[in-house]
Structure 1
């Protein structure tokens, strides 16, 4: 008991007035209940001006300001974004001229093409894996491997697939991001890791063509990144491939003498991952830009961002 510490007395602690203290939260930042029948703009204004709610509105504002200044908004996304049903929101942003370019991975081609062809996608992997039928859909393999063959001849993988879908008689081609990008003459690049996509196991697969077509897309993507000064790069749902591709492209264009320093990046995903945070949000913006990360489900976040963008876009148009 002889080593028992003596209780510390706080009688001489210096205090100050609460009313004079600098505080992070104030009444004007509090949210307020959304009233039934109100407009979406009023819903946005009802959100607390803190953390992710504040960041979402700041990202939307940055996109609108960039596009009004004729700077790019590159929307990069993984296949999950298509699988959760938000393609129509992205299509609308493309058609309104808000999205200026798109980038994705090989799996997104699969889901986009299958929706265009048949209005269905995303098989039961666990069940199909039992007999080895996973990934063996004939039409999917034939279409995407034909896109690789055509893309390797010059246009790149994304544009080649877009052309095939746009010029097809697929019943749901109006829902294809690739097909619509081709029709709107918007760049859409695909960054493939060989062996990761179901079409790579098909007899029609040509590794050389896939690699060549995707490499052309990397060169196109690098050109897009070289013009990113003053723009916005948003990543949704890719944890490895697109963050790595973005970082390499950014380093290459800076090495070549392009000024890409002040721009906004954002990452939307339902889990916080190392590469998107490091390679998209943090490192690229150290020279003067700003990075955001919002954790949540794409089927909620992207429609919310869409609503904010449309409200701000139309508000800007009204002021012109």
Structure 2
């Protein structure tokens, strides 16, 4: 039985080759791993927690928005994955697009202002081919990040060495992707199957929740994700705590860190009042207060991705050496 309302006819869409797109970013943004000159206390404290968590088998979870990939910090993250410091890396849907385009052509990102004028924005053939990968993966029960990482490796894409998804698949580190239908450019394409993408992303959500079962004594770090990160974490943590409670256990002692550009007061470990617009900044109330009430602790750092990841990476190295 068809729905009540008339739908847009996706067969009318013209999809163009990526070679016709002007790209705003290329491989020149990828950073070399250079130690930071200074390490601030929030990074030092979280790094010590991460080293201790790894030693005891507790989870260290990273969550981030796609702009982090566009800042060129991939080598730092891949190195931390290889050294066992990331138990799960959670991305939004745009994360797989930038990661895949970098791996495929060494370039990514288009001008929304330029291409939205005539409806070319996001409608690029090679990027849309991700839908075919995802549609097949849904039949196999794979996760969204899992299937794209596998595809990048098996296809031998030219720049797979800077792909977070490929690194995760190679190392057995879940890179989970949490989508909202209509958020990402591949959702515009005629070959997009909402059921398939939803199934793969749900699988990733369950992968993510499984990792959180080892969060006691661990860490969760959030980089530039104001909605996906805190909301996915909140729901998965509730699931994990529900199951733990029935076993007479608890997941209530871990450390969170949020890195973002928003200015927060020094009292960020106390929730803002509902009359304060900052109350609606989810990372504050969710990551820094509500989920760590009791035994847990939290840190907030106002910093760019380009500076935050080198500083945390440096801090972890110092913590390893006991400095």
Aligned to 2:299: 292
CA contact (8 A) 2:134 2:196 kept: no
Q: Deviations over 1:206-252 (max 9, x none)?
A: 00001111111111111111211010011111111121010011111
**TM-score normalised to structure 2 length:** 0.80
Q: Name the structure 1 match of 2:112.
A: 125
**1:113 equivalent in alignment to 2:100:** yes
Q: Distance in 1 between matches of 2:48 and 2:72?
A: 24
| Structure 2: unaligned runs, 5 residues or longer | 1-33, 264-277
Return the index of the structure with the highest Cα Rg: 1
The corresponding residue for 1:199 is: 186
* Residues 131 and 154 (structure 1), Cα distance of their counterparts in 2 relative to 1, 3 Å cut: same
State the match for 2:171 in structure 1: 184
Q: Name the residue aligned to 1:61.
A: 48
Partner of 1:262: 253
Aligned partner of residue 150 in structure 1, secondary structure: helix
| Structure 2 CA distance for aligned equivalents of residues 77 and 289 of structure 1 | 21
Q: What are the Cα deviations for residues 177-200 of structure 1, in whole angstroms up to 9, with x where unaligned? A: 001110111111110000000000
Contact residue 153 and residue 213 of structure 1 kept, 8 A: no
RMSD of aligned C-alpha atoms?
1.8
Aligned mates of 1:157, 1:310 — CA distance in 2: 31
CA contact (8 A) 2:144 2:177 kept: yes
Residues 40 and 238 (structure 1), Cα distance of their counterparts in 2 relative to 1, 3 Å cut:
closer
Question: What is residue 166 of structure 1 aligned with on the other side?
Answer: 153
Q: State the number of aligned residues.
A: 270
**Cα deviation digits, residues 233-277 of structure 1 (max 9, x gap):** 111111111210100111111112252100011111112561011
Answer whether contact 1:106 1:192 (CA < 8 A) is retained: yes
Deviation sequence 1:3-43 (CA, Å, 0-9, x none): xxxxxxxxxxxxxxxxxxxxxxxxxxxxxxxxxxxx958x4
Residues 253 and 40 from structure 1, CA distance in 2 versus in 1: closer, same or farther, beyond 3 angstroms?
closer
Alpha-carbon offset, residue 312 of structure 1: 2.0
Greater relative contact order (CA < 8 Å, ≥ 6 in sequence): 2
